[in-house]
Structure 1
């Protein structure tokens, strides 16, 4: 029997999803919606007050309902049913939160009509729907891999017109979410995490419904392939066929969105069977990385596009917003320079430094995971205690990350996949935090894996909940209108977190 509080959360969230869908019909990212809208201009539109009221109230209800059960839904089935109920209104709503789906449609049209989307923008290619694409992306090559370009072209072929193409792209995104939903429970059980909690955190969040379902972002496809590859390697570690298949799936995820590549080294750790030795690591890594390279080469060859998509990745940072911590710090340095009559142009410099730091963080995360797993080599131990670093460790992106590394007694069989998944989750956290640009749906990447590996939830659920308020239904990004205060606030937050990290931690507590 479901607790009354859980039922209240279910129907409060459903009401929130319905209000968001209504906001979408009143003022969502419709094809003919004007560009350059501001919150004030949206409010002055005929349906503006109703649009913004439905959007705000709906977001509050959906976020509050998700937050209230962050410790876990009553059951896994209950979590799936509730997430499905919340997704239904958004499934039939217009695109919400961004206009990226129109870019996907034009990129698919470009490829389907024999033009290389990695060399020209959709405007130069002559896409008939170019007026629906955000101006900043009309003249830039696509940054997505060949698998997603093929899927977008398939959507164009199946859909025919713009509306049909958008519907087909949404079906593809939902298919990615369904694949992720299939993989979550066995991955959670393998890592010793309650599946009811993992399913709830990964699938019922407001970012999933608004941006992956209604917005049809290709992140859904990437996550589905990513979790499927991890499931294969976790369920069949050491098996050559499984390692090869897992590598192929992870490679396909990379050819949707390159971000998935940071997970591959941790998948290699999960693929080691038996004792953790350098020889076993090289064996597992050779087969898994080989599978990924096969996927990359085959899809690049089949599409006829080669590796031109790698160059398109450089345009992903064309948008400068304070929601990216490195960009926010760069803004503040520029503001400080302006006060003394100088123009430091610090944003590209700080972004470059952050990317170098990201490489270092990823290496340290992998090395720590490897050292932890090497400590589990004594198979005579029935129970292994996976000790974690405390908040003062130098690689921590946020002090709260220590919650994900908190030591806990685990059976040795559970510790292995948990350590690998935990490392992959923190690698995605670092990637999101240190990347040149951040959009709300980027938070779904680490969220899916943290749901499988984190011991504590507040430290990552809170930022994901806050990100749900960053966009308006027509795709207007509120960060555009809060550049200076947002940059100052983000920089102050980073300074505060660094100061908290530097505080000495209490000594170990003696247990009787």
Structure 2
């Protein structure tokens, strides 16, 4: 470890002496950003403390529900908890942006970024769910499978035992079939079998299990970088240390983390010509969250272009047949083992998330705008407008998918890039669009080369996507003053990556601390 304090920001000018150049250019271990890491860790601890009153708290909380600190869940106590939580989140973002500036200056390396991300996640292991209540649905659906109810035919409300789990499932999902793959429900079943009706233990164990997915991502990202041409510190900063991962995927927690682990390793296997392994891994990812199926047709092109011979049509048929031959038994066996039968009800369960309507999904937003304008003239229901707009959006997505898939026909990095674009398009165009859905393609995108201004855009988008929902898990997208404030904070965070203190606020504060009689004294040069 080269130092115990943060490195000075900025890139040395050309021609600077060797001592002024980035440590990586001198084959030295880059310094460790202690203060920045500590700042984010303090922020994460504040998020943890605030979450006990402002996060996805239990309806009957055995920790604070009836004790002397129960006031934090209500009224002014809850307002204080929100203030603490958002202050902590601000520190996490500030630390992430500072770490990004040091990274761009070549002053910190991959190891420091991973350690920082780990420090920021660690306090959240025991936190109530953050900005979502989905984990309670995971536990409820796992409990259904454990006790003989089909989670693809019934909602958790049908479960007559384990009342603590059932009552904490969000009302929208109480009577809704599960939209997740059968393998994930098998994992959730195992968690509930271990923790029973103890919801707090269930949330903690879920996070521990999902760490396997994050670990697989961390293993895969350096290998993806070698193939896709990115820079590892930037990739880890984007995909692992980002608030989207720290707060959403881990703090949430969300099962997308496990799906992305299998997907990332599967893409690595395809690029390293281990195509059978790749298809098996990505099919397994699909059995966790069905969105991963989008990647499979692109992997066929990668396989096609790795086969010897000049006959591309024959190679495509070989790769396609082999892919289907691997996909089907994994799909059937995974479904059978998870559910005890070959039950395809989970495919129809994919319609459940469409119950969520908000303008974060562009088609839904367009439908709502058109409805509002028409409603000014004539009384009409909203649903037809949203349905039509979503239908147009799905047709658009089908066109995007077909176009991107065909442009991937030469395989290689181009196919992975087109896969990434399609995963992002799926998150945006297919209803609904939830903030953490953007991680589907974003983890792969992080391994490609990036420009500084695009990194700044990612910072702004990440801040907005975390704050698009309240810490309780309820959406905040129609609280317009809050949305404007969130957008402003996102823009400021984005600008801060490229230039410290872009509005000069810190400098102005420092000047305010200088007494007037000192600022008016002549300098030595003028005396």
TM-score of the superposed pair, with normalisation by structure 2:
0.77
- Structure 1's 225 and 96: CA in aligned 2 closer, same or farther, altered over 3 A? same
- Within the candidate set 262, 273, 298, 2:306 is matched to 273
> Does 1:165 find its partner at 2:199?
no
Q: How does 1:144-163 map to 2 (within 5 A)?
A: 144-162=180-198, 163=200
Residue 358 of structure 2 is matched in structure 1 by 321
Count residues with an aligned counterpart: 432
Is the CA contact 2:468–2:476 (under 8 Å) kept in the aligned structure 1?
yes
Cα distance change, pair 292–465 in 1 and its aligned pair in 2 (3 A) = farther
Indicate whether 1:447 and 2:479 are aligned. no
- The answer to whether structure 1 residue 117 and structure 2 residue 148 are counterparts is no
State the match for 2:259 in structure 1: 222
Q: 1:159-216: per-residue Cα shift (whole Å, max 9, x none)?
A: 2232332222111111111111111111111112111211111011112112221222
State the shift of 1:97 in Å. Answer: 1.2
Secondary structure of the 1:436 match is coil
**Are 1:473 and 2:471 matched, yes or no?**
yes
Shift of 1:461: 4.1
In 2, Cα distance between equivalents of 1:171 and 1:178: 11
Alignment CA distance shift 1:57-1:174 (3 Å): same
Q: Does the alignment pair 1:288 with 2:323?
A: yes
Aligned-pair CA distance for 1:485 = 8.5
Question: Where do 1:285-364 residues align within 5 Å?
Answer: 285-302=320-337, 303-305=339-341, 306-343=343-380, 345-364=384-403
**For structure 1, which segment, 335-344 or 70-79, has the greater mean C-alpha deviation from structure 2 after superposition?**
70-79
What CA distance in whole angstroms lies between the structure 2 residues aligned with 1:211 and 1:154? 23
Which structure has more relative contact order (CA 8 Å, sep 6+)? It is 1
Distance in 2 between residues matched to 1:274 and 1:243, nearest whole Å: 11
Match of 1:463 among 441, 458, 461: 461
Deviates more, 1:112-121 or 1:259-268: 259-268
Work out whether 1:261 is the aligned partner of 2:293.
yes
CA contact (8 A) 1:29 1:94 kept: yes
Is the Cα contact below 8 Å between 2:476 and 2:483 reproduced in 1? no
Pairwise CA distance, 1:16? 2.1
Structure 1 residues 148 and 44 mapped into 2: Cα distance closer, same or farther (>3 Å)? closer
Residues in 2 aligned to 1:332 and 1:473: alpha-carbon distance in whole angstroms:
27
Shift of 1:476: 2.5
Go from structure 1 to structure 2 and tell me whether the alpha carbon gap of 1:60 and 1:286 turns closer, same or farther (over 3 Å shift).
Answer: farther
2:509 corresponds in structure 1 to none
Q: Which residue of 2 aligns with 1:29?
A: 56
d(CA) in 2 for partners of 1:25 and 1:243? 46
What's 1:87 paired with? 121
Contact 2:476/2:482 (<8 A) preserved? no
TM-superposed deviation, 1:141: 0.6
Residues 247-299 of structure 1: CA deviation (Å, up to 9, x unaligned): 11111111111111111122223333167823323323332343233221111
- Pair 1:366–1:67, CA change in 2 (3 A): farther
3-state secondary structure, aligned to 1:255? helix
- Report how far residue 364 of structure 1 moved: 1.0
3-state SS, counterpart of residue 370 of structure 1: coil
Do the aligned partners of 1:107 and 1:117 also contact (CA within 8 Å) in 2?
yes
Instruction: Check whether the contact 2:225–2:231 (CA below 8 A) recurs between aligned residues.
Output: yes
Native 8 Å contact 2:132 2:474 kept in 1: yes
What is the distance in 2 between the residues matched to 1:183 and 1:249? 13
Change (3 A) 1:8 1:260: same
Distance 1:243 1:314 in 2: 31
Whether the 8 Å contact between 1:29 and 1:474 is mirrored in structure 2 is: yes
Q: Answer whether contact 1:247 1:287 (CA < 8 A) is retained.
A: no
Report the TM-score, using the length of structure 1 for normalisation: 0.79
Quote the residue 2:44 is aligned against.
17
Distance 1:214 1:437, change over 3 A: same
**Relative to structure 1, is the Cα distance of residues 33 and 449 closer, same or farther in structure 2, using a 3 angstrom cutoff?**
farther
* Change over 3 Å in CA distance of 1:290–1:13 after alignment to 2: farther
CA distance in 2, matches of 1:148, 1:67: 34
Alignment of structure 1 residues 423-442 onto 2, 5 Å: 423-442=418-437
Matches within 5 A, 1:5-84: 5=9, 6-32=33-59, 45-70=75-100, 72=103, 74-84=108-118
Structure with max Cα Rg: 2
Point out where structure 1 has 5 or more consecutive residues left out of the alignment: 35-41, 374-415, 490-512
Contact kept? 2:45, 2:123, Cα under 8 Å: yes
What is the CA distance between 1:43 and its match in structure 2? 10
1:346: Cα distance to partner? Answer: 0.5
Counterpart Cα distance in 2 of 1:64 and 1:112:
43
Deviates more, 1:277-286 or 1:127-136: 277-286
